[in-house]
Amino acid sequence: MCGGHTMIKIIGCLVILGASTMAGFIYSERLKYRVFQLNEVHRAIYQLQNEITYVHALLPDAFKSVAQKSKEPIRELFNKTSELLSDNEYENVYEAMNSAMNLTKSRLYLNSDDMNVILDLSKTLGESDIEGQNSIFTLTIANLKKQIKISEEFMHKNMKMYRYLGFSFGATLVIVLI
């Protein structure tokens, strides 16, 4: 075979292999981000509880001050919720939180179970006395802890798998194409 031809072939194979390996790595990073964001939400929920039980802040203000203390994607979620609540566009907290979640969906790596835990909290926020809200907070935090545990186990189990799979699929593709 002539020289230039094989060179292009080799480079193309390497590009495919590199791309698929990278895809595997990027996909495995998502699992890490999910754990990170869940931990961030966990902390933010504690702060929200403090804002409500001790400071007696209004919900938009409480969301805003929690957002200021949180890291990026979660900060945007709480900020959006606060804005939507103070705009008075929605009937209840649940709808505002839901649409804020839809707006920030592209940057949240949480799955639907995690989102449901947070949305369940927003269903009862502002519709009960402090004691009632506190019990809902306790429930939410317990559920979040469960989700964090699940997501950590999932991360440890699957992170390596996605990396190996990315490489293997790339190698299979290269062999088929050769």
Contacts with other proteins, residue ranges (CB under 8 A):
157-158, 161, 164-165, 168-169, 171-172, 175-176, 178
- Least Å distance, CB 148 to other proteins, is 20
* Cα–Cα distance measured from residue 31 to residue 127, given in angstroms and rounded to the nearest whole number: 34
Q: Give 81: exposed, middle or buried? Use CB within 10 Å, 0-12, 13-18, 19+.
A: buried
* Cα–Cα distance measured from residue 174 to residue 17, given in angstroms and rounded to the nearest whole number: 7
Q: Are 40 and 70 in contact (CB under 8 A)?
A: yes
Nearer to other proteins, 71 or 156 (CB): 156
- Least Å distance, CB 123 to other proteins, is 33
- The DSSP code for 127 is S
Nearer to other proteins, 29 or 89 (CB): 29
Nearer to other proteins, 91 or 178 (CB): 178
- Least Å distance, CB 172 to other proteins, is 5
Nearer to other proteins, 22 or 55 (CB): 22
- Least Å distance, CB 11 to other proteins, is 20
Q: Are 166 and 27 in contact (CB under 8 A)?
A: yes
- The DSSP code for 105 is G
* Region for 110 from its dihedrals, namely left if φ exceeds 0, alpha if ψ lies in -120 to 50, beta otherwise: beta
- Least Å distance, CB 153 to other proteins, is 11
Q: Would you mind telling me the total number of residues written for the chain in this entry?
A: 178
Nearer to other proteins, 103 or 171 (CB): 171
Q: Which of 28, 29, 35 is nearest to 111 (CA)?
A: 35
